[in-house]
């Protein structure tokens, strides 16, 4: 089966636009439809985990689906309508078909008084209730009287759905990329992240990577908990990982360190970001699924890459996180940067200098200028000297690049030249 390429910014945007209208949640058909579209670009291994399955300290909940929902005012006009935006219904609302006065209805209405024109995003996964979200301006304009409310949803035993995509590498050590798929019509959070991840998977596959890259598309929290519960024995293979979210807003990139703080992924991201506007945050146990990967029992080397981080922009979890909020350039920049980071990670090795006593004579191996006395030592020679000097089994090529100030590519080229001359081994 031929997969659709995600080669250009326009391809990324088109994917985001197709996914935007779907009503996703932590379970349900909106997630399945999302994965089906994603599967047109990269092959997915879709997992269905039954309601009631015990996963770590949690239990897979019932599956939620929704057909329609609305509120009609005393005049019979739909003043809140799920078909206009799926944000209007509190996620996991139980079904309801009632008529009630505005005063009683108000207890089920959620607004943002300080952003009166925006509709908030709200859920209630583990406490059965129902509710609508609407603009404060809309609420303020509602006349008194009796309102008809209808939510045509179902909460039944079913499944939690998540998907994996694997780019096989030369080794079975794995790098994780995790994206949450549980938010409905919110573009930056996290359709941009899903699109960037899919594009990155395509690029990695084209490049025949060293590590195996595993992409995870799953609902936040319960999805990560479920995957971790079902993959405990695999975790020893996880060398690094990135939780990718909010990949398309106009802010600069932000990397949040793993709980370890000095994991290889932390060093790689800090190195790659150092040349551009960015922010580095220490780990905190709040945000996206790094919370789960970095729980103290797992403590994986998994950080989080976003542009503006969690809850850091006014459009966050509102109807303003829409298609206009996400920029093609921002998604391309996120993609390029994470691609560069994985390119470094993928080639970052430790070598041992096989001729560690004094410098080996590079000249007789054709690796050194024959004319001495010049003060402009070439970068390639400097890179070889640095690699030889630091290849004691304790320094990686990234360490060499950081210590020397030389480009990572030059350091890798030097290592390969030296390895080719029999002076280094991995």
Coil/strand/helix, residue 169: coil
**Residue number with CB closer to a second copy (20 or 58):** 58
Q: Is 284 in the site for a second copy (CB under 8 A)?
A: yes
Identify the burial level of 94 via C-beta atoms within 10 angstroms of its C-beta, where 0-12 means exposed, 13-18 middle and 19 or more buried: middle
Residue 135 · residue 118 · CB < 8 Å? yes
Q: Can you tell me which of 269, 390, 412, 414 binds a second copy, judged by CB under 8 A?
A: 390
Residue 386 · residue 412 · CB < 8 Å? no
Residue 26 · residue 222 · CB < 8 Å? yes
Residue 228 · residue 298 · CB < 8 Å? yes
Residue 177 · residue 211 · CB < 8 Å? no
Q: Can you tell me which of 14, 20, 43, 298 binds a second copy, judged by CB under 8 A?
A: 298
**Residue number with CB closer to a second copy (285 or 420):** 285
Stretch near a second copy under the rule CB under 8 A, chosen from 9-17, 38-46, 171-179, 295-303: 295-303
SS (H, E, C) 257-326: CCCCCCCHHHHHHHHHHCCCCEEEECCCCCCCCHHHHCCCCCCCCEEEEECCCCCCCCCCCECCCCCCCC
Site residues for a second copy, 302-331, by CB under 8 A, read: 311, 316-317
Q: Can you tell me which of 18, 58, 210, 327 binds a second copy, judged by CB under 8 A?
A: 58
Angle among Cα 236, 239, 245 to the nearest 5 degrees reads 115
What are the residues whose beta carbons fall under 8 Å from the beta carbon of 63, sequence distance 6 or more? Answer: 27, 28, 51, 154, 155, 156, 157, 158, 159, 160
Stretch near a second copy under the rule CB under 8 A, chosen from 41-49, 72-80, 123-131, 340-348: 123-131
Q: Can you tell me which of 8, 117, 129, 274 binds a second copy, judged by CB under 8 A?
A: 129
User: Edge-to-edge, what's the strand order for the sheet holding 424-425?
Assistant: 392-396, 350-353, 424-425
Report the alpha-carbon distance of residue 281 to residue 148 in Å, rounded: 47
In the complex, the smallest distance separating the C-beta of residue 168 from a second copy, rounded to whole angstroms, is: 27
In the complex, the smallest distance separating the C-beta of residue 361 from a second copy, rounded to whole angstroms, is: 5
Q: Can you tell me which of 118, 179, 224, 240 binds a second copy, judged by CB under 8 A?
A: 224
Q: Is 101 in the site for a second copy (CB under 8 A)?
A: no
Stretch near a second copy under the rule CB under 8 A, chosen from 70-78, 142-150, 351-359, 408-416: 351-359
Q: Is 117 in the site for a second copy (CB under 8 A)?
A: no
Q: Is 236 in the site for a second copy (CB under 8 A)?
A: no
In the complex, the smallest distance separating the C-beta of residue 66 from a second copy, rounded to whole angstroms, is: 16
* Positions of E strands within 73-211: 78-81, 96-101, 109-110, 132-133, 146-156, 159-167, 174-180
CA Rg value for the chain:
26
Q: Can you tell me which of 233, 297, 324, 426 binds a second copy, judged by CB under 8 A?
A: 297
Q: Can you tell me which of 348, 391, 396, 410 binds a second copy, judged by CB under 8 A?
A: 391
In the complex, the smallest distance separating the C-beta of residue 62 from a second copy, rounded to whole angstroms, is: 14
In the complex, the smallest distance separating the C-beta of residue 183 from a second copy, rounded to whole angstroms, is: 9
Q: Is 411 in the site for a second copy (CB under 8 A)?
A: no
* Positions of E strands within 25-145: 45-50, 54-55, 58-59, 63-72, 78-81, 96-101, 109-110, 132-133
**Residue number with CB closer to a second copy (120 or 158):** 120
What are the residues whose beta carbons fall under 8 Å from the beta carbon of 409, sequence distance 6 or more? Answer: none
In the complex, the smallest distance separating the C-beta of residue 402 from a second copy, rounded to whole angstroms, is: 12
Q: Is 285 in the site for a second copy (CB under 8 A)?
A: yes
Binding residues for a second copy, rule CB under 8 A, total 63
Report the alpha-carbon distance of residue 385 to residue 11 in Å, rounded: 44
Q: Is 107 in the site for a second copy (CB under 8 A)?
A: no
Q: Can you tell me which of 76, 114, 275, 374 binds a second copy, judged by CB under 8 A?
A: 374
**Residue number with CB closer to a second copy (284 or 328):** 284
Per-residue binding string, a second copy, 151-190, x by CB under 8 A, is: ----------------------------------------
Report the alpha-carbon distance of residue 289 to residue 64 in Å, rounded: 21
Q: Contact residues for a second copy (CB under 8 A)? A: 56-58, 90-91, 120-127, 129, 221, 224-225, 228-229, 232, 259, 282, 284-286, 291-292, 294-299, 311, 316-317, 353, 355-361, 363-364, 370-375, 377, 382, 385-386, 388-392, 403-404
């Amino acid at each position: 089966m031929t997969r659709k390429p995600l080669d250009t910014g326009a391809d990324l945007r088109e994917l985001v636009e197709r996914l935007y209208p779907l009503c996703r949640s932590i379970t349900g058909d909106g997630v399945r439809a999302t994965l089906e579209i994603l599967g047109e670009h990269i092959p997915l291994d879709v997992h269905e985990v039954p309601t009631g399955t015990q996963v770590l300290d949690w239990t897979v909940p019932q599956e939620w689906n929704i057909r329609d929902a609305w509120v009609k005012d005393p005049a019979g006009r739909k003043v809140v309508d799920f078909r206009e935006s799926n944000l209007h219904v509190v996620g996991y609302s139980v079904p309801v078909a009632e008529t009630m006065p505005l005063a009683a209805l108000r207890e089920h209405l959620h607004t943002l008084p300080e952003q009166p024109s925006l509709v908030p995003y709200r859920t209630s996964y583990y406490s059965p209730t129902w509710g609508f979200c609407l603009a404060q301006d809309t609420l303020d304009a509602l006349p008194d009287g009796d309102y008809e409310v209808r939510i045509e949803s179902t909460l039944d035993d079913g499944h939690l759905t998540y998907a994996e995509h694997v780019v096989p590498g030369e080794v079975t050590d794995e790098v994780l990329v995790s994206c949450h798929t549980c938010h409905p019509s919110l573009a930056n959070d996290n359709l941009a992240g899903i699109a960037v991840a899919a594009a990155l998977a395509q690029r990695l596959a084209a490049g025949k990577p060293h590590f195996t890259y595993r992409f995870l598309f799953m609902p936040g929290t319960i999805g990560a908990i479920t995957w971790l519960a079902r993959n405990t024995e695999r975790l020893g293979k996880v060398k690094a990982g990135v939780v990718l979210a909010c990949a398309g807003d106009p802010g600069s990139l932000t990397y949040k360190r793993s709980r370890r703080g000095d994991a290889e992924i932390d060093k790689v991201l800090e190195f790659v970001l150092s040349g551009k506007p960015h922010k580095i945050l220490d780990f905190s146990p709040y945000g996206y699924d790094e919370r789960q990967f970095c729980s103290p029992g797992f403590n994986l080397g998994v950080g989080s890459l976003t542009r503006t981080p969690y809850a850091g922009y006014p459009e966050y979890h509102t109807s303003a996180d829409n298609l206009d909020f996400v920029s093609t350039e921002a998604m391309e920049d996120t993609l390029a940067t994470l691609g560069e980071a994985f390119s470094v990670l993928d080639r970052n090795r430790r070598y041992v200098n096989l001729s560690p006593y004094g410098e080996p004579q590079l000249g007789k191996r054709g690796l050194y200028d024959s004319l001495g006395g010049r003060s402009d030592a070439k970068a390639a020679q400097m890179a070889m000297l640095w690699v030889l000097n630091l290849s004691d089994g304790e320094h990686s090529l990234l360490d060499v690049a950081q210590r020397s100030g030389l480009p990572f590519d030059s350091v890798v080229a030097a290592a390969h030249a030296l390895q080719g001359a029999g002076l280094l081994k991995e």
